[in-house]
């Protein structure tokens, strides 16, 4: 791989490189071919002498995007900016690239690159994004595994609406009496089934057996919000801890965000440099700040007071009892605290049935972690472990006990205080890369009006 070749300690008489041509320049006696294989941002430059067998037929006509394999000598580079280059001895062309290869050297707009999402991983920017995505996923597992959390694969098809927001995609078969709607799916599962909006409820059942668990998987929401931070399909990390209260839940969320930032700083330095140069000039400063400073915490009530006293003009009015809008969240984290901040204890009326009622009888033990540039990145809560209160909430929300009896059972057989949260994986990626649109941190974005590839 090019990454290991470029990290070589010494020259080597025979090495092999396989990859795709980024650029080629021809002179009288040589061609200079820049090859990339995605193992790192950098290309390796290969010098192909006209005397290399097959030069005229295979090397001269090569176009950007072609795939080749070259054997040759790894030598110290004479040119600036790179330590190593290769001198070719033999060349195999696996596939020439057609003349209309759409990725050219000039910068392309993000919109255009989305329309060629099958080729955009070959660009510098998207190579960096998806290498960081891979590393971040690894770090998520490492964080939880090191702490002894058990990874649970919660179902993607489910009959329950965890968030109660009705933002679900229904799963139906094409066959059956009514292929277009109603009965097809219901016959298959015996009841209406949906793509999960959260693995939390199923995750709770495992926390009430294995103590500390986490899920990390795809999540689906049919919200018709065409923003830069919402996708119809996204990935979420959801830890759930038994014998745990809101305080410890908030601490874990802060720790996780910090851990992921530190991990990327340590392991993705080259890729981060590209983001800092071309995507977000303030990126490194922000990441160092998050690594080095502690986060703030503020109750919802205090947050509302701060917003009302801010003198800021907001599009949506601030009032106690209403959801904080993205502009409010961003004011808090970007202008007021200038650092990540956790808002907790929200009015019970605006939160789902499973959140634990506080002693004030007005608020629930909910929390949202907000970060600069994005707003909410984590949403979580302590869960209602008291049977009577949970039943009351379900009755009020119209949740049938026949449907959610299994969830209620957790409170009937050895109930425990427990808590958890969901971290939006793409939002975390946006935060560590500075990439401003969620569509550009997920390989094939699904958003209202768009499900290509
Ligand atoms: O705040 P949310 O809706 O919380 C839950 O789903 C809880 N059941 C989690 C739990 O307690 N186990 O979603 C959690 C996070 C949000 O903070 C956000 O980062 C992300 O998921 N998220 C989205 N990311 C991309 N596109 C969307 N449409 C998202 N909706 C939520
Ligand atoms: Mg939320």
Domains of the chain with CATH codes: 2-95 (2.40.50.140), 120-156+196-440 (3.30.930.10)
Q: Summarize the confidence of residues 428-444 as an average pLDDT.
A: 98
Task: Please state, for a pLDDT cut of 90, what percent of the chain lies above it.
Answer: 90
Residue 167 CA: which ligand is closest?
1
Q: Is the pLDDT of residue 184 over 70?
A: no
Q: Is the pLDDT of residue 186 over 80?
A: no
Q: Is the pLDDT of residue 174 over 90?
A: no
Q: Phi and psi (nearest 5°) for 423?
A: -105, 125
The closest-lying atom of ligand 1 relative to the alpha carbon of residue 438 is 25
Q: Is the pLDDT of residue 181 over 80?
A: no
Q: Are 367 and 253 in contact (CB under 8 A)?
A: yes
Q: Summarize the confidence of residues 341-370 as an average pLDDT.
A: 97
Residue 149 pLDDT class (50, 70, 90 cuts): very high
Q: Which of 225, 252, 427 to mutate to test the pocket of ligand 1 (most atoms within 8 A of CB)?
A: 427
Environment of ion ligand 2 (residues, CB < 5 A): 379
Name which residue sits closest to atom 14 of ligand 1, judged by CA: 422
Q: Summarize the confidence of residues 273-296 as an average pLDDT.
A: 95
What is the per-residue pLDDT across 210-222, written as a single tens digit (0 to 9) for each?
999 999 999 999 9
Q: How far is the CA of 421 from the centre of ligand 2 (A)?
A: 9
Name which residue sits closest to atom 24 of ligand 1, judged by CA: 424
Q: How far is the CA of 55 from the centre of ligand 1 (A)?
A: 55
Name which residue sits closest to atom 22 of ligand 1, judged by CA: 424
Helices and strands of the chain, counted as H and E runs: 13, 16
Q: How far apart are CA 203 and CA 291, in angstroms?
A: 29
Q: Summarize the confidence of residues 68-88 as an average pLDDT.
A: 93
Q: Summarize the confidence of residues 60-87 as an average pLDDT.
A: 94
Q: Summarize the confidence of residues 108-119 as an average pLDDT.
A: 95
Q: Are 184 and 177 in contact (CB under 8 A)?
A: yes
Q: Is the pLDDT of residue 315 over 80?
A: yes
Q: How far apart are CA 152 and CA 207, in angstroms?
A: 10
Q: How far is the CA of 369 from the centre of ligand 2 (A)?
A: 9
Q: How far apart are CA 278 and CA 264, in angstroms?
A: 18
The closest-lying atom of ligand 1 relative to the alpha carbon of residue 200 is 12
The closest-lying atom of ligand 1 relative to the alpha carbon of residue 231 is 26
Q: In what order do the strands lie in the sheet containing 170-171?
A: 157-158, 193-195, 170-171
Q: How far is the CA of 109 from the centre of ligand 2 (A)?
A: 31
Name which residue sits closest to atom 27 of ligand 1, judged by CA: 230
Q: Is the pLDDT of residue 179 over 90?
A: no
Q: Is the pLDDT of residue 180 over 70?
A: no
pLDDT at 177: 54
Most confident range (mean pLDDT) of 96-105, 175-184, 232-241 is 232-241
Q: Summarize the confidence of residues 158-165 as an average pLDDT.
A: 86
Q: How far is the CA of 279 from the centre of ligand 2 (A)?
A: 27
Q: How far apart are CA 277 and CA 269, in angstroms?
A: 12
Which contiguous run of DSSP H or E holds residue 285?
Answer: helix 283-292
Q: How far is the CA of 444 from the centre of ligand 2 (A)?
A: 23
Q: Is the pLDDT of residue 176 over 60?
A: no
Q: Summarize the confidence of residues 6-24 as an average pLDDT.
A: 96
Strands 170-171 and 157-158: unpaired
Residue 81 pLDDT class (50, 70, 90 cuts): confident
Residue 80 pLDDT class (50, 70, 90 cuts): confident
Axis-axis angle for helices 124-146, 246-267 (nearest 10): 130
Residue 437 Cβ < 6 Å to ligand 1: no
pTM: 0.96
Residue 163 Cβ < 6 Å to ligand 1: yes
Mean pLDDT of the chain: 95
């Amino acid at each position: 791989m090019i990454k290991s070749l470029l990290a070589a300690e010494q020259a080597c008489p025979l090495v092999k490189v396989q990859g795709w041509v980024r650029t080629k320049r021809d002179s009288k006696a040589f061609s200079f071919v820049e090859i990339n294989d995605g193992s790192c941002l950098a290309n390796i430059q290969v010098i192909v002498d006209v005397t290399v067998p097959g030069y005229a037929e295979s090397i001269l006509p090569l176009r950007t995007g072609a795939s080749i394999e070259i054997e040759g000598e790894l030598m110290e580079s004479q040119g600036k900016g790179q330590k190593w280059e290769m001198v070719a001895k033999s060349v195999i062309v696996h596939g020439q690239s057609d003349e209309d290869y759409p990725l050219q050297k000039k910068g392309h707009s993000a919109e255009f690159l989305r329309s060629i999402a099958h080729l955009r991983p070959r660009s510098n920017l998207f190579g960096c994004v998806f290498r960081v995505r891979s590393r971040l996923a690894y770090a998520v597992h490492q964080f939880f595994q090191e702490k002894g959390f058990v990874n649970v694969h919660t179902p993607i098809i489910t009959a329950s609406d965890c968030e109660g927001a009705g933002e679900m995609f229904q799963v139906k078969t094409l066959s059956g009496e009514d292929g277009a709607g109603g009965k097809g799916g219901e016959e298959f599962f015996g009841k209406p089934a949906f793509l999960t909006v959260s693995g939390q409820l199923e995750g709770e059942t495992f926390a009430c057996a294995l103590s500390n668990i986490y899920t990390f998987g795809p999540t689906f929401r049919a919200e018709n919000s065409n923003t830069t931070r919402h996708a119809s399909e996204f990935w979420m990390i959801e830890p759930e801890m038994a014998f745990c209260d809101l305080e410890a839940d908030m601490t874990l969320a802060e720790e996780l965000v910090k851990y992921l930032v530190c991990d990327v700083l340590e392991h993705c330095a080259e890729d981060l440099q590209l983001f800092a140069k071309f995507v977000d000039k303030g990126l490194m400063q922000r990441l160092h700040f998050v690594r080095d400073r502690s986060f703030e915490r503020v109750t919802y009530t205090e947050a509302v007071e701060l917003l009302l006293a801010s003198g800021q003009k907001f599009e949506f009015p601030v009032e106690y009892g209403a959801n904080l809008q993205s502009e409010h969240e961003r004011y808090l984290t970007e202008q007021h605290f200038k650092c990540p901040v956790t808002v907790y204890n929200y009015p019970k009326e605006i939160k789902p049935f499973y959140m634990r009622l506080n002693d004030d009888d007005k608020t629930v033990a909910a929390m949202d972690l907000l970060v600069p540039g994005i707003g909410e990145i984590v949403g979580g809560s302590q869960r209602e472990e008291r049977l009577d209160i949970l039943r009351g909430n379900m009755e009020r929300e119209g949740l049938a006990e026949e449907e959610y009896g299994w969830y209620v059972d957790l409170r009937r057989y050895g109930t425990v205080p427990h808590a958890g949260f969901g971290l939006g994986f793409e939002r975390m990626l946006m935060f560590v890369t500075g990439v401003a649109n969620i569509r550009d941190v997920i390989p094939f974005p699904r958003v209202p009006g768009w499900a290509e590839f």
